[in-house]
Every structure is written in structure tokens, then in C-alpha cells.
């Protein structure tokens, strides 16, 4: 009987600690950050772009989010020449 009680106690302790240990890696609040899965494969015209911001350092792919006049968020590769040019142009605009 003592063996069953000890086993149940260990199971209860492990079961109650699981949600806390699983939440550890997400302590940076990943829900509020935007990450890119893929990048746009063609250059966007500068006249449709309004703003930009970089993705979080916690994302697997480091990217740039370009905002359009229609308030669309488009992921772009920050290493591409046209993206660097767009960032410079948007910085001058603001």
C-alpha cells in the first residue's frame, strides 16, 4: 500500500510541475512577436511601402516586415539588395 501511495505522490508532483517547465522557453512572449516563415520572392515598388520593422531576434529567420499602403505586412529578406534599398528609402521618408 505504501508503494502505491508513493507512486501516486510522485505522479502528482510530476504532473503538476509539467505546465511550469513547458512554459519556460516561451518566457519572451512569442505571441506578440511576428516571425517570417517565407520571404517575398520579388521586389515591391517603393511607392506602395509605408513603414518597416525587423522581426524579433527570437524568430528562426531574421526578416524585415514591410507595411504597404493597404496595411498588409509582407516578409522580406534583409540581405537582398532591393530590401536594403527600400529600408533606406523608408528611413529618409520619416
Provide the greatest CA pair distance for the chain.
Answer: 76
The reply to whether 26 falls in a domain is no
Smallest CA-to-CA distance from 62 within 34, 29, 31 is with: 34
The reply to whether 19 falls in a domain is no
Cβ–Cβ < 8 Å for 50, 74: no
The reply to whether 46 falls in a domain is yes
The reply to whether 38 falls in a domain is yes
Residue 52's CATH number? 2.40.50.40
pTM exceeding the 0.95 threshold for the entire prediction: no
C-alpha to C-alpha distance for 16 and 27, rounded to whole angstroms: 19
pLDDT tens digit sequence for 8-46? 555 444 444 333 322 223 334 444 568 999 999 999 999
Partner residues linked to 65 by β-bridges:
53, 75
Domain that holds residue 60: 34-93
The reply to whether 12 falls in a domain is no
The reply to whether 2 falls in a domain is no
The reply to whether 8 falls in a domain is no
Overall domain count for the chain: 1
User: What is the model's pLDDT at position 8?
Assistant: 53
Amino acid at each position: 500500500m505504501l508503494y502505491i501511495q508513493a507512486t501516486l505522490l510522485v505522479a502528482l508532483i510530476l504532473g503538476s510541475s509539467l505546465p511550469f517547465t513547458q512554459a519556460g522557453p516561451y518566457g519572451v512572449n512569442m505571441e506578440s512577436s511576428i516571425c517570417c516563415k517565407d520571404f517575398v520572392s520579388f521586389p515591391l515598388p517603393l511607392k506602395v511601402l509605408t513603414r518597416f520593422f525587423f522581426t524579433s531576434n527570437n524568430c528562426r529567420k531574421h526578416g524585415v516586415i514591410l507595411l504597404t499602403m493597404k496595411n498588409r505586412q509582407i516578409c522580406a529578406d534583409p540581405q537582398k539588395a532591393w530590401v536594403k534599398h527600400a529600408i533606406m528609402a523608408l528611413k529618409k521618408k520619416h
